[in-house]
Each structure stands twice: as C-alpha cells, then as structure tokens.
Amino acid sequence: MAAVRVWSKPARAVLTFAGAGLGAGTLAFLAALFLHVAPENALSREYRVELNAVVYPEFEQNWQLFAPDPLQREVTVFARVQTIADDGRITTRDWRSLTAGDLAAIRHDPAPSHLDQNLLRRAWDFYATTHPDGDGPSAGGSRGRLAEEYLKRIALQRIGFGGERVLQVQLRADTRAVAPPAWSDEQVDTSPHARELPWWPVQDEDRRGLS
C-alpha cells in the first residue's frame, strides 16, 4: 500500500496562496472580459485603458453581451382626459402617471408580468420611433397612426371613464437620464425633458373592447 504523502505546513501555505492567487486572477480576467462585452457604462469608461490592456490583442471579442443595450434613461408616461358630463359640463382632468401603476405592480413581485414591464414602455418607444420629427396629424405615416391609436387605447384603458364621456386624451412623457454612480466624474444631464403630445379626439371605436 502506497504511503500517503503529507505536506508540510510551509508547503500547504504556498499551495493555498498560489491557489488563491490563481482564483483571484481568473475572476479578475473574467470581470475584464465581462466589462468589455457589456454595454458602455461608467465603470468601463473609467478603466478603459486597463481593460484594453487585458483584452487586446489576444482576447479580442467582437460581440456584445446585450442586444439591444439596456436602457440608460427613465421614461415616465402621463395621460389626462377631457370629459363631458350629462349636463354638458366639460372638465379637463389632472395628469395621471401611467408608469407609476406599472412600477407599483412590479415592485416586490418576484415574477412580474410581461405586460407591466413592457407594454407601456414599448408603446412609447414605438411612438417615438415613428415620430422623430414632430407630432402633427400626418407625422409617421400609417405606422405613426397605428402608434397613436395604440397609445390612445392604453391610456383610455388605464384611466377609465368614470361614468362620463371622454372627449379627448393627451399624453406626456418625461425622460431623464440615469445618473452615473457617485464615484464617477462623468457629467450627465439628469433633468427631465418633457414631450407633450397634442390632444387626440376619442371616438366610440377607440373605446371598443376596453374594460
């Protein structure tokens, strides 16, 4: 029976130190690769020279970790309606945050609904993409009209009717860039930029099928 080799305390200390060093080096290398393929952020900009020294030329990567890149801005969508009562009195309601309702539904939910996460956000992105130059009645062509109808129906469904007839609906979006971390010297304008859309008339067809 072969004898079991017993390592001395100095040998075990050297092996332990070497193993810890190799582990730390591997983790640091993987972290550098992660930051290289991740979307540009404050950390990757801060250590761009060091990251390039690790990656290039032997470990160059030509792919990105996310597609599309994660959003680096916060968009809050508001809506308000103009209603008419049975006595003919017309009332313009206050702005209501549609995004706040989604955030309330998502917060503390381990498996949030896909609709709560993406429906309103994607609808606004669709509108902004089809209306890059303005919000006129002919802007965006047929896809622009589809984007308007989509946003209008979402707003009407979220706000409800309250027993009065809705004459018009209006939407507004406040966009704010996500602030960089406290340790970064990057300067980013985090003040909100509002885009207020024109009033859209509401027809019976717009309310069809909405609960």
Q: What is the pLDDT of residues 77-125, one digit of tens each?
A: 999 999 988 888 888 899 999 999 988 988 988 888 888 888 898 899 8
Assigned domain for 3 exists: no
- Please tell me whether residues 180 and 88 are part of one structural domain: yes
Assigned domain for 67 exists: no
- Please tell me whether residues 153 and 192 are part of one structural domain: yes
pLDDT of res. 180: 81
By percentage, how much of the chain surpasses pLDDT 70?
A: 89
Assigned domain for 60 exists: no
pLDDT of res. 1: 55
pLDDT of res. 38: 83
- Please tell me whether residues 137 and 36 are part of one structural domain: no
Which range is least confidently modeled, 22-26, 162-166, 174-178? 162-166
- Please tell me whether residues 33 and 105 are part of one structural domain: no
- Distance, CA of 69 to CA of 118 (rounded, Å): 15
pLDDT of res. 2: 60
Assigned domain for 64 exists: no
pLDDT of res. 170: 95
Q: Could you give the number of structural domains in the chain?
A: 2
Average pLDDT value for the chain: 84
pTM tops 0.85: no
- Please tell me whether residues 84 and 117 are part of one structural domain: yes
- Please tell me whether residues 81 and 50 are part of one structural domain: no
- Please tell me whether residues 94 and 128 are part of one structural domain: yes
Q: How many CA atoms within 13 Å lie on the side-chain side of 59?
A: 12
pLDDT of res. 197: 94
Assigned domain for 2 exists: no
- Please tell me whether residues 88 and 187 are part of one structural domain: yes
Q: Report, as an integer, the average pLDDT of 22-44.
A: 87
Structural domain including 119 reads 73-207
Assigned domain for 167 exists: yes
**Amino acid making up residue 135:** D
pLDDT in tens, 50-68: 888 888 767 776 666 666 6
- Please tell me whether residues 127 and 37 are part of one structural domain: no
Q: Report, as an integer, the average pLDDT of 170-175.
A: 94
208 secondary structure, DSSP code: T
Assigned domain for 51 exists: yes
SS in 3 state form for 73-115?
A: EEEEEEEEEEEECCCCCEEECCCEEHHHHHHHHHCCCCCCCHH
pLDDT of res. 44: 84
- Please tell me whether residues 27 and 100 are part of one structural domain: no
- Please tell me whether residues 156 and 200 are part of one structural domain: yes
- Please tell me whether residues 13 and 99 are part of one structural domain: no
pLDDT of res. 10: 85
Q: Which residue has the higher pLDDT, 188 or 31?
A: 31
- For residues 177 and 188, the answer to whether their CB atoms sit within 8 Å is yes
pLDDT of res. 173: 94
Assigned domain for 62 exists: no
pLDDT of res. 63: 67
pLDDT of res. 80: 94
Q: Which residue has the tokens 């606004």?
A: 124
pLDDT in tens, 123-164: 998 999 888 888 876 666 788 888 999 999 999 988 876 677
